[in-house]
C-alpha cells in the first residue's frame, strides 16, 4: 500500500514473459475488470466483487508482458473530479501536499507521479484521465471514442467514456496506447483507426515545425490567472520550436459542461440500475418486497455523489423533463461536435489549460458539487465531441502546483496530439 492511498488492491498480476511491456509495471484503475482480482469501482457496493473475466485492455497488457502491480483508487464509479468520493478513502496528491490528485483516475495518476508504477490505465468520461494527469504533473491521453475497447470496463456513461494511458512522458503514454488500441469483437463501438499502420510511439518525435494551433478563447475565460500565465508560457515554448497559434471561437462550449452532466447522469442512472445485490454487489440481506429490498441495498451500497447523479439522471429522463434536459443536451452535444470539427479545419490541434484551476485543497469541493462539476469545463467538451485529447505538464504555479496543457485533435488524430505534446514532455 502507498502513503497517499493510491491502490485499493495491491495484488500483482503477471503478464507474458516477452512483449513490448515486458519490463514495465502498469497499474490498472479499479473499474477495469481483472479476472480473479477484485474490482470495486471505489464502491462499497462492489467491495467483494471478483470478475470472472479480464477486460480486453487487461488481456492486451498481459499479452504485451506487462506486470500489473495493483488496482488503483478512484472516485466511486468514476464520479468525481478529486478522488475523494472513493469508499476506500481519498487519494492524496503525491507531488502537491494538501491538494487533491484530481479525478476520477486519481490513484492511477498518483502511482505514476510517485514512481510506484511505470505506467497506468485510467478511464475518461468527462476528463477523468486528463484532470488527474494535469494535477499530478504527468501525461494522460483520452483516445478518440471507439479506438480502445470498453469491454470489461464497468460502465458509467457508455457514450462518452474511453480507457487511456497515464505515463511520465508522452512517448511512454503512446507506447501503452499502441498496446491497448484497436478493434475488439466484444465492443461493437470500436473501429479500426483510418491510419492503423505504424505506432503511436513513433509519432512522439517532438517535431512541431509548421504546426498550427487553435486556442479557443472560451476555454481561457474565467480560468485562474496563474494557470493562464503558465499556459501561455508553454505556447510560447511551442512557438519557439516552429509552431504558430491563432485564437478560435467555440460558442457551443459555454453549454458543454451542463450538457455533459445531463447526458452522463442520465446514462449513469440507467447503467447503475443493475446493482441490486442479487447477481453481484452487496445485498444487505434484506427480505420482503423486492423494490424495497433493492432500495435498501442501494441506499447502503452507494455513496453520496453516486446517489446524487443517479437521482439527477432519473429526474432528467423522467416524464415531462426529457425534452427540457436530455434532448437539449443532445442538441448541445451535436453543436459542440460541429464547432470542434470546424475549428479543426483551420488548425492541426486545439490548445487550452486542461483544468481552469490548479489542484484544489483537499476537502474543499465535497460540500459543493456544482462547483466541482464546473471545474470540468475544459475537458467535458472533448468527450461530447468524441475526439482525442492529451494533457501534458505545462509548468507550475508560483507555489509549485502542477498545471496541465490540453491538446485536442481531430477524430483518430492521436498522432497529431502525441507529436505536439512530445515537444513539451
Partner 1 sequence: MSDPAVDPEEVRHVADLARVDLADDEIERFTEQLGDILDAFEALDDVPETEREAELSNVMRPDETRESLSQEEALQNASDTEDGQFKGPKVS
Binding of partner 1 at residue 196 (CB under 8 A)? no
Which of 43, 86, 104, 352 is catalytic? The answer is 104
- Residues near 168 by beta carbon (within 8 Å), at least 6 away in sequence: 112, 118, 138, 139
Question: Out of 229, 280, 396, 397, which residue is the one contacting partner 1 (CB under 8 A)?
Answer: 280
**Is the CB of 70 or the CB of 281 nearer to partner 1?**
281
- Helix (H) or strand (E) run with residue 122 in it: strand 119-124
Query: Which positions from 93 to 132 touch partner 1 by CB under 8 A, shown as an x/- string?
Result: ----------------------------------------
Question: Out of 4, 88, 335, 340, which residue is the one contacting partner 1 (CB under 8 A)?
Answer: 335
The CA distance from 249 to 230, in Å, is 21
The reply to whether 33 belongs to the active site is no
**Is the CB of 291 or the CB of 399 nearer to partner 1?**
291
Sheet of strand 26-29: strand arrangement? 7-9, 71-72, 26-29, 119-124, 162-167, 139-142, 389-396, 402-408, 349-353, 212-216, 244-248
Peptide bond into 104 cis (omega under 30): yes
The reply to whether 24 belongs to the active site is no
Question: Which residue stretch of 25-33, 80-88, 234-242, 312-320 sits at the interface with partner 1 (rule: CB under 8 A)?
Answer: 312-320
- Residues near 335 by beta carbon (within 8 Å), at least 6 away in sequence: 252, 255
Give start and end residues of each alpha helix (H) in 114-255.
Answer: 130-136, 170-180, 225-240
- Nearest distance from C-beta of residue 393 to partner 1, angstroms: 31
Binding of partner 1 at residue 288 (CB under 8 A)? yes
Question: How far is residue 188 from each of residues 152, 160, 164, 165, 263, measured CA to CA in Å?
Answer: 13, 15, 18, 21, 20
**Is the CB of 232 or the CB of 280 nearer to partner 1?**
280
Binding of partner 1 at residue 328 (CB under 8 A)? yes
CA-based nearest residue to 325, from 261, 253, 254: 261
**Is the CB of 140 or the CB of 409 nearer to partner 1?**
409
Binding of partner 1 at residue 323 (CB under 8 A)? no
Bridge partner residues of 353 (DSSP): 405
Query: How far out from the chain centre does Cα 153 lie?
Result: 13
- Nearest distance from C-beta of residue 314 to partner 1, angstroms: 4
The reply to whether 43 belongs to the active site is no
Question: Which residue stretch of 115-123, 182-190, 352-360, 399-407 sits at the interface with partner 1 (rule: CB under 8 A)?
Answer: 182-190
The CA distance from 347 to 207, in Å, is 16
Q: Catalog residues that contact partner 1 under the rule CB under 8 A.
A: 48-50, 52-53, 185, 188-189, 252, 254-255, 258-259, 261-262, 269, 273, 276-283, 285-296, 298-299, 302, 304, 307-308, 310-312, 314-316, 318, 324-325, 328-332, 334-335, 337-338, 369-370, 373-374
Amino acid at each position: 500500500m502507498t502513503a497517499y492511498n493510491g491502490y485499493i488492491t495491491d495484488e500483482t498480476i503477471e503478464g507474458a514473459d516477452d512483449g513490448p511491456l515486458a519490463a514495465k509495471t502498469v497499474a490498472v484503475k479499479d473499474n477495469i475488470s481483472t479476472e480473479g482480482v477484485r474490482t470495486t469501482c471505489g464502491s462499497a457496493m462492489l467491495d467483494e466483487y471478483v470478475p470472472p473475466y479480464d477486460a480486453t485492455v487487461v488481456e492486451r497488457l498481459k499479452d504485451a508482458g506487462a506486470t500489473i502491480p495493483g488496482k488503483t483508487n478512484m472516485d466511486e464509479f468514476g464520479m468525481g473530479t478529486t478522488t475523494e468520493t472513493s469508499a476506500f478513502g481519498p487519494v492524496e496528491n503525491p507531488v502537491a501536499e494538501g491538494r487533491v490528485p484530481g479525478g476520477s483516475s486519481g490513484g492511477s495518476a498518483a502511482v505514476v507521479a510517485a514512481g510506484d508504477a511505470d505506467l497506468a490505465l485510467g478511464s475518461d468520461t468527462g476528463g477523468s484521465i486528463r484532470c488527474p494527469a494535469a494535477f499530478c504533473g504527468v501525461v494522460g491521453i483520452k483516445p478518440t471514442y471507439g479506438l480502445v475497447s470498453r469491454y470489461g470496463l464497468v460502465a458509467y456513461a457508455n457514450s462518452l467514456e474511453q480507457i487511456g494511458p497515464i505515463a511520465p512522458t508522452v512517448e511512454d503514454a503512446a507506447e501503452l496506447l499502441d498496446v491497448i488500441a484497436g478493434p475488439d469483437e466484444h465492443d461493437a463501438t470500436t473501429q479500426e483507426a483510418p491510419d492503423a499502420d505504424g505506432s503511436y510511439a513513433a509519432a512522439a518525435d517532438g517535431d512541431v515545425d509548421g504546426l498550427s494551433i487553435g486556442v479557443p478563447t472560451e476555454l481561457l475565460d474565467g480560468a485562474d490567472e496563474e494557470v493562464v500565465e503558465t499556459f501561455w508560457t508553454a505556447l510560447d515554448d511551442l512557438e519557439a520550436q516552429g509552431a504558430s497559434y491563432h485564437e478560435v471561437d467555440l460558442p457551443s462550449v459555454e453549454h458543454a459542461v451542463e450538457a455533459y452532466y445531463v447526458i452522463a447522469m442520465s446514462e449513469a442512472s440507467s447503467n447503475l440500475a443493475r446493482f441490486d445485490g442479487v447477481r453481484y454487489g452487496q445485498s444487505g440481506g434484506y427480505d420482503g418486497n423486492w423494490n424495497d429490498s433493492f432500495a435498501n441495498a442501494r441506499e447502503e451500497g452507494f455513496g453520496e455523489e453516486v446517489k446524487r447523479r443517479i437521482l439527477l439522471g432519473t429526474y432528467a429522463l423522467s416524464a415531462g423533463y426529457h425534452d427540457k434536459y436530455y434532448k437539449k443536451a443532445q442538441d448541445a452535444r451535436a453543436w459542440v461536435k460541429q464547432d470542434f470539427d470546424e475549428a479543426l479545419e483551420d488548425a492541426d490541434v486545439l490548445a487550452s489549460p486542461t483544468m481552469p484551476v490548479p489542484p484544489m485543497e483537499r476537502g474543499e469541493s465535497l460540500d459543493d458539487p456544482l462547483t466541482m462539476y464546473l471545474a470540468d469545463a475544459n475537458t467535458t467538451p472533448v468527450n461530447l465531441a468524441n475526439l482525442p485529447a492529451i494533457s501534458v505538464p505545462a509548468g507550475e504555479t508560483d507555489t509549485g502546483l502542477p498545471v496541465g496543457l490540453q491538446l485536442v485533435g481531430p477524430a483518430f488524430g492521436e498522432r497529431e496530439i502525441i507529436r505536439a505534446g512530445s515537444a513539451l514532455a
